[in-house]
Structure formats: structure tokens, C-alpha cells
Amino acid sequence: MSELRFDDRVAVITGAGRGLGRAYAELLASRGAKVVVNDAGGTMRGDTVEKNVAAEVVEAIEAAGGAAVASTASVATAAGGQAIIDTALDTYGRIDILIHNAGNVRYGSLTELSYEDFDAVLDVHLRGAFHVSRAAFPHMAKAGYGRVVLTSSIGGIYGAQACANYASSKAGAIGLSNIIALEGAAVGVNSNVILPSALTRMAEGIDTSAYPDMRAELVAPTVAYLAHESCTLTGEMLIAIAGRVARAYIAETPGVYQPSWTVDEVAARIDEIRNTDNSWQLSPVPSGQADHIGRSFAMATAASRPGTTAASRPGTTAASRPGTTAASNAGTEGK
């Protein structure tokens, strides 16, 4: 199997001064990419600057024979996001890859977390993802090519104690990536999400003595694959934790159709509603939303045929209509 290379590709990686981001930057650079190493050099809370870690990574990449340039702009503002992308354009004339990895953390229970700390985390994780994506997307679209990798977390899917800000941001990153994937489908821009777990400075203070190998270098190859031109995935989520790589996805149960409902009927049929047999996996691209609407409408249409009632079709589901998609329900996209 030939080595996947990134020769002549330009990659912007945020939060690339340490941990996961540095592992991504060094791997892509070692495979030929020109890398914009972005890191504001802040503390884990993101409230003060510690040192110019971006320059240190650039020095290491160049010492290994690679090409890189440092950016210390903050992703937390629109101006900062634009400045980061401008660094790629001004230095290398293009942008092919965007990996948003920058992060901070501020803990607090739901009743204790301040609005300042809530916003500070959203500014970096979610608004930061938007700031750099918004600045990069037009250039990728014009070139007819782009790879975007946004960072979510198992906390964004399953939640995390005392991290309402972090979990909200990471869940939001999934939605943002889906939009980039949808809008990018016609112009050659793919967008996916990485859900990484590694022992970085975010794990400081946690007893990790019983943990398996969780180096950032175990995550980097999956991110690099999502950033490679050979990767055709878009609108998907991959997990990388302790050497395990997996796909995460959102699914719906087929559910139950009735022409009308009462609270008591929902309670009585909740087990059927929650039954995961024949669950629907609807990919955002090309038509997840339309497929969702089409299948849902198909259940109502099937049950309302002459001589057919919900009572005579208990538990009516789309599974009883194999192959039903939005394509068979033209014009049903919520108009």
C-alpha cells in the first residue's frame, strides 16, 4: 500500500502548539503538507497567554525538513479567524485543509457555571470553528476542493459532568460540520468530525495510572485520513481513543404512526416508540433531512389509504415499507 501524501497541500491547524494539534501538524508536515501552525499560546482556561508554542512547533517541523508558518491569532473572534486563514493565503497562496482543534476548558456545575465561562468556551470551540470555517470555505469552494475536520467529543454526544459549556460546544460542532458538508457537496468540500481522546494537558489532575496508551499520536492518523484527498467521507463522525477507531452516527427508531395521539397513548406505546429494531441511519449528505421527512410522511400516507386505519395497522413503521425514501415523496421537504 502506497503512503498517503499531502505534497503541495496547505493545511491550517488550530490549537496546534501542543497535544493533539501538534501531533496532527507534525504528521501532515512529515507527509509533505505545508502547515499553518495556529496557537494563541494560552492557558487551559484561555484567559492568559503563556508562551509562543506555535513557533516551537514550526521550528520542530522545519528541523525535520518540513514547511510551516506560525500564527498566534485567536480563533475566538471573527477577525482572528480571518487572520488565521489569511496567513495561509499570504504565505502559501491557498488553503486545502482546515482542522479546528483549538480548545479551552472552564469547569462548573449547571447551577454554578458563570455566563462568562460559558461564553469563553463557546468562543473557542464552537464560534471558533465557525470563524475559521467561514473564512476558509469561500476559498475552498472557488478552488473546487477542500477538507474540513472539526473536533467534537464524547462529551458532545454523551455529556460530561460540570462541562455544560464544553458539551454544548462539542454538540454544536457536529451540526456545523453537517452544514459545511451539505453546502460543500456541490463544490468539492468535504467536512467530517473527529471525536478524539488522548492524554493532553486537559487531563492534568486526573489519575491516569490505570489508563492504556492514550498518546495523541494514536489519534493523528485518523485525522490525517479525514484530511486526505482520497477520503470521500463527508458528514460523518469518527472516534479515536486508545488505539480504537470507530464510527459514531445518529439514528432514529422507525417509531409508531397514529393519526392522533393522547398523552396516555404515548405512555402506553413508549416501548414500541423506543424499539431500535430496523433503526434508520440517515446520512446528512446528500439528503438526510429529506429522507427523514419522506419516510415519516410515507408512514402517514400508507396508514391513510382507503380501508386502512391505524387501528388495523398497529405499530405502523417505515420498516414495513422497505426502500421508502424522500425520492418517492417528491415535494415533501416541509413545504
- Domain range for 111 is 10-248
Longest distance between any two alpha carbons in the chain, whole Å: 77
CB 280 within 8 A of CB 319: no
Residue 325 lies in a domain: no
- Per-residue confidence (pLDDT) for residue 167, from 0 to 100: 98
In the chain, how many domains are there? 2
Same domain, 176 and 299: no
- Per-residue confidence (pLDDT) for residue 310, from 0 to 100: 41
Which is higher by pLDDT, 318 or 14?
A: 14
Average pLDDT over residues 281-301: 93
Same domain, 224 and 92: yes
Residue 38 lies in a domain: yes
Same domain, 156 and 265: no
Same domain, 234 and 255: no
Average pLDDT over residues 252-280: 98
209 confidence band (pLDDT: 50, 70, 90)? confident
Question: Considering only 52-56, 180-184, 209-213, which range has the smallest mean pLDDT?
Answer: 209-213
Residue 88 lies in a domain: yes
Average pLDDT over residues 195-209: 82
For residue 312, pLDDT beyond 60: no
- Per-residue confidence (pLDDT) for residue 49, from 0 to 100: 79
Same domain, 82 and 231: yes
For residue 328, pLDDT beyond 70: no
44 confidence band (pLDDT: 50, 70, 90)? confident
CATH number where 92 lies: 3.40.50.720
Buried b (16+ CB within 10 A) or exposed e, 6-38: beebbbbbbbbbbbbbbbbbbbbbebebbbbbb
List, as one string, the DSSP characters of 293-328: HHHHHHHHHHHTSTT--TTTSTT--GGGSTT--GGG
Same domain, 45 and 144: yes
List the beta bridge partners of residue 10. 34
Same domain, 15 and 143: yes
Residue 333 lies in a domain: no
- Cβ neighbours for 108, distance < 8 A, ≥ 6 positions apart: 114, 117, 162, 164, 165
Closest CA to 200 of 221, 220, 225: 220
201 confidence band (pLDDT: 50, 70, 90)? confident
- Per-residue confidence (pLDDT) for residue 47, from 0 to 100: 77
For residue 321, pLDDT beyond 80: no
Same domain, 47 and 82: yes
Angstrom distances, CA of residue 180 to CA of 12, 177, 187, 193: 16, 5, 11, 11
Same domain, 213 and 261: no
Residue 183 lies in a domain: yes
Most confident of 93-107, 203-217, 284-298: 93-107
305 confidence band (pLDDT: 50, 70, 90)? confident
Residue 324 lies in a domain: no
d(CA 69, CA 87): 8
d(CA 73, CA 52): 11
What is the pLDDT of the chain when averaged over all its residues? 91
Same domain, 195 and 219: yes
- Per-residue confidence (pLDDT) for residue 304, from 0 to 100: 77
Which is higher by pLDDT, 50 or 222?
A: 222
Residue 277 lies in a domain: yes
The model's pLDDT over 129-175, given as tens digits with 9 standing for 90+, comes to 999 999 999 999 999 999 999 999 999 999 999 999 999 999 999 99
d(CA 300, CA 320): 12
The model's pLDDT over 235-247, given as tens digits with 9 standing for 90+, comes to 999 999 999 999 9
Closest CA to 137 of 196, 181, 71, 106: 181
Q: Give me the percent of the chain exceeding a pLDDT of 90.
A: 81
For residue 179, pLDDT beyond 70: yes
307 confidence band (pLDDT: 50, 70, 90)? low
For residue 42, pLDDT beyond 60: yes
DSSP-derived 3-state class of residue 281: strand
Looking at 24, 92, 166, 257, which residue is catalytic? 166
Whether 166 sits among the annotated catalytic residues: the reply is yes
Same domain, 181 and 258: no
Residue 109 lies in a domain: yes
Same domain, 236 and 255: no
